[in-house]
Amino acid sequence: MKRRRILVGILFTVVALMAFASGAAVVVANRGARRPGAAVAAAAAPAQTLSITCRSPSLGGSLPARVYLPPGYSRRAGRYPVVYFLHGLPANPTSYEYNPFVAGALASARRRAIVVTPQGARTDNGDREYLDWSPQENWPWAIAHDLPSCIDHRFHTIENRYGRALIGLSAGGYGAFNVGLRNLQTFAAVESWSGYFVATDPEGAHVLDLGSTEANDAAMVPSGDKLIRALATWPTMIGFYVGRQDTRFLAMNQQFDAGLTRSGITHMFQVYAGGHAQALWGAQAPHWLGSALAYMSRGKRTQGRSGGGGVGVG
Average pLDDT over residues 219-235: 96
User: Using CA atoms, how far apart are residues 122 and 144, in angstroms rounded to an integer?
Assistant: 18
Q: Is residue 54 part of a domain?
A: yes
Question: Each residue of 57-114: pLDDT tens digit?
Answer: 999 999 999 999 999 998 888 999 999 999 999 999 999 999 999 999 998 888 899 9
Strand residues in the chain grouped as ranges (E):
48-56, 61-69, 82-86, 114-118, 132-134, 137-138, 164-169, 189-193, 237-243, 268-272
106 found inside a domain? yes
Q: Is 291 exposed, middle or buried (0-12, 13-18, 19+ CB in 10 A)?
A: middle
User: Do β-strands 164-169 and 82-86 pair in parallel, antiparallel, or remain unpaired?
Assistant: parallel
**31 has a pLDDT exceeding 90:** no
Task: Give the pLDDT confidence score for residue 169 in this predicted structure.
Answer: 98
Residue 290's Cβ-count burial label (10 Å; 0-12, 13-18, 19+) is: middle
| Confidence category of residue 302, pLDDT binned at 50, 70, 90 | low
pLDDT digits (tens, 9 = 90+) for 102-142: 999 998 888 899 999 999 999 999 999 999 999 999 999 99
Q: Confirm whether 309 is domain-assigned.
A: no
Q: Which domain holds residue 237?
A: 6-25+39-302
Question: Does residue 188 sit within a domain?
Answer: yes
Position 144 scores a pLDDT of: 98
Residues linked to residue 272 through DSSP beta bridges, in sequence order? 243
What integer pLDDT is reported at residue 313 of this predicted model? Answer: 59
- Give pTM, 2 decimals: 0.86
Taking the CA atoms of residue 255, residue 259, residue 264 and residue 266 in that order, the dihedral angle to the nearest 10 degrees is -50
Q: Report percent pLDDT > 70 for the chain.
A: 82
In this predicted structure, the answer to whether residue 248 has a pLDDT above a threshold of 70 is yes
Residue 17 has pLDDT above 80, yes or no: no
Cα dihedral sign, 198-186-53-11: positive
Is the residue at 279 inside a domain? yes
Query: Considering the domain boundaries, does residue 93 fall inside one?
Result: yes
Query: What's the structural domain count of the chain?
Result: 1
Q: Give the residue with greater pLDDT, 159 vs 310.
A: 159
Residue 103, domain CATH: 3.40.50.1820
Residue 16 confidence class, pLDDT cut points 50, 70, 90 = very low
| pLDDT confidence of residue 1 | 52
Average pLDDT over residues 206-235: 94
**Contact indicator for 154, 63 with CB cutoff of 8 Å:** no
Give the dihedral sign, CA 5/9/14/20. Answer: negative
Domain assignment of residue 313, yes or no: no
Q: How does pLDDT run across 253-270, given as a tens digit for each residue? A: 999 999 999 999 999 999
In this predicted structure, the answer to whether residue 28 has a pLDDT above a threshold of 70 is: no
**Res 314: pLDDT:** 52
Q: Is the pLDDT of residue 194 over 80?
A: yes
Residues 274/282, Cβ–Cβ less than 8 Å? no
Does residue 62 belong to any structural domain of this protein? yes
d(CA 166, CA 180): 6
The residue-averaged pLDDT of 22-32 equals 36
Q: Which residues, at least 6 apart from 147, have a Cβ–Cβ distance to it below 8 Å? A: 54, 56, 63, 65, 84, 116, 118
pLDDT value at 22 more than 50:
no
Report, as an integer, the average pLDDT of 20-46. Answer: 45
Please state, rounded to an integer, the average pLDDT across all residues of the chain. 86
- Residue 143 confidence (pLDDT) above 60: yes
